[in-house]
Amino acid sequence: MISILSLERMAKKVGIRRISKDALEEMREILTEEGMHVAERAVKLSLHARRRTVMKEDVELAAGRKQE
């Protein structure tokens, strides 16, 4: 699980000066859910490639970030 402090640091990096604890908790929930979806898709991709190890490329494809 992502810590509230880590999320607060990320928010400050993008320019947010103040953010409520409720907003940070909601952000944590959303990021955790999305991370789980990406991980599930990455596992399916590695199994499709007949590998047991999830590789960086699997995660990139699962997240839709693969640059060709």
What is the DSSP track for the chain?
---HHHHHHHHHHTT-S---HHHHHHHHHHHHHHHHHHHHHHHHHHHHTT-SSPPHHHHHHHHT----
Superfamily assignment of 4-63 in CATH?
A: Histone, subunit A (1.10.20.10)
Tokens of 33: 């859910």
* CA 25 – CA 47 distance, rounded (Å): 33
pLDDT in tens, 2-51: 999 999 999 999 999 999 999 999 999 999 999 999 999 999 999 999 99
Residue 1 and residue 28 in contact, taking contact as beta carbons nearer than 8 Å = yes
Prediction pTM value: 0.80
Residue 68 has pLDDT above 80, yes or no: no
